[in-house]
């Protein structure tokens, strides 16, 4: 059973506009959330993270928002650039009694159109 | 250059023939992990290790073994591979607790 879900397999956005990628999770005990970006034929690379005690974290063009009551997080990319075209994975760290296990979503493929 | 290396990058094998995929990192990371990526299922954690001689099961450990005898190496062992283990495998490492993992380039395994 998928504990971290990314319900949009793909997203297309015009260059310069905002990209919003969404992620939902089921386990309220997750304490840390991360976004990874993956280009074809490469491993994922870390993008941005947020602790469950915060509701927003910003790093340059990337902002992650966490809504714990809705068990929802989102990644905003502003402005979107063609180099942002990649697959984005949302991940969550499991509760402490599971050790340091990580759960990933299925990914959203972002295409930024020049 | 800080990196996670995996070997081989591509492997085609037959059912039942034992194989090992190696993983090595040069960042002195405590945490190492193996994932498999399958269409429609995303990345799923197979095993992880918090430090030398400490390993734990992830979400999908069945059919896999790991060992962590040295800090830098974390091999993935398939004792008797089956076709359902055909997948893209990633090794990753990070400092303690697994945040911000650095991923290797992936190993594409096909089991016939």
In order, the DSSP letters of chain B are ---EEEE-SEEEE-TT--EEEEEEESS--SEEEEEEEETTTEEEEEEEEEETTEEEE-S--TT-EE--SSTTB--EEESS--GGG-EEEEEEEESTT--SPEE---EEEEE-
Per-residue pLDDT reduced to its tens digit, B95-108:
877 689 999 999 99
Is some CB atom of chain B closer than 8 A to the CB atom of A33?
Answer: no
pLDDT > 90 fraction of chain B, expressed in percent and rounded: 90
For chain B, state the CA radius of gyration. 13
| Interior/surface letters A76-110, b for 16+ CB within 10 angstroms, e for the rest | bbeebeeebbbbbbbbbbbeeebbbbbbbbbbbeb
Nearest CB to B42 within list A34, A99, A106: A106
Q: Do A101 and B56 touch, CB atoms closer than 8 A?
A: yes
Res B98: pLDDT: 67
d(CA A96, CA A107) in angstroms, rounded, equals: 25
Q: Name chain B contacts of A43, Cβ cutoff 8 Å.
A: 4, 90, 92, 103-106
Is some CB atom of chain A closer than 8 A to the CB atom of B106?
Answer: yes
Q: What are phi and psi of B104, to 5 degrees?
A: -75, 180
Per-residue pLDDT reduced to its tens digit, B25-60:
999 999 999 999 999 899 999 999 999 999 999 999
Look at residue A98 and tell me whether its pLDDT is greater than 80: no
Q: Do B33 and B93 touch, CB atoms closer than 8 A?
A: yes
Nearest CB to B41 within list A43, A46, A106: A106
Look at residue A16 and tell me whether its pLDDT is greater than 70: yes
Written as six digits, the tokens of A59 are: 């790093």
Closest by CA to B20, choosing from B83, B70, B59, B64, is: B64
Res B35: pLDDT: 97
Sequence-separated (6 or more) residues with CB below 8 Å from residue A31: A51, A52, A93, A95, A96
Is some CB atom of chain B closer than 8 A to the CB atom of A89?
Answer: yes
Distance from CA of B73 to the nearest CA of A (A): 18
Q: Name chain B contacts of A4, Cβ cutoff 8 Å.
A: 42
Look at residue B92 and tell me whether its pLDDT is greater than 70: yes
Res B96: pLDDT: 73
User: Quick one: closest CA in A to B5, which residue?
Assistant: A43
Q: Where are the beta strands (DSSP E) in A40-101?
A: 45-51, 56-59, 62-67, 72-77, 86-93
- Which one of B7, B25, B47, B101 would you mutate to disrupt binding with A, by most A Cβ within 10 Å of its Cβ? B101
Could you give the dihedral angle defined by the CA atoms of residues A34, A37, A40 and A44, in that order, rounded to the nearest 10 degrees?
A: -40
Nearest CB to A107 within list B42, B90, B106: B42
């Amino acid at each position: 059973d998928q504990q971290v879900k990314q319900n949009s397999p793909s997203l297309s956005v015009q260059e310069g506009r905002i990209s919003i990628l969404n992620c939902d999770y089921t386990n309220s005990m997750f304490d840390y959330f991360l976004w990874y970006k993956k280009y074809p034929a490469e491993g994922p690379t870390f993008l941005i993270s947020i602790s469950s005690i915060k509701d927003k974290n910003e790093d340059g063009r990337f902002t992650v928002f966490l809504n714990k009551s809705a068990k929802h997080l989102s990644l905003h990319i502003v402005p979107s650039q063609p180099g942002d075209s990649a697959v984005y994975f949302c991940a969550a760290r499991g509760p402490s009694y599971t050790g340091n296990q990580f759960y990933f979503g299925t990914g959203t493929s972002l295409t930024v159109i020049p | 250059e800080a990196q996670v290396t995996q070997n081989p990058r591509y492997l085609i094998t037959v059912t039942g023939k034992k194989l090992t995929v190696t993983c090595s990192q040069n960042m002195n990371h405590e945490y190492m992990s193996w994932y498999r990526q399958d269409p429609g299922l995303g990345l799923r954690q197979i095993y992880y290790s918090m430090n030398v001689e400490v390993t734990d099961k992830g979400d999908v450990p069945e059919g896999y073994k790991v060992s962590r005898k040295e800090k830098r190496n974390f091999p993935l062992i398939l004792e008797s591979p089956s076709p359902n283990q055909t997948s893209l495998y990633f090794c990753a490492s990070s400092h303690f607790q697994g945040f911000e993992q650095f991923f290797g380039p992936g190993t594409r395994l096909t089991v016939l």
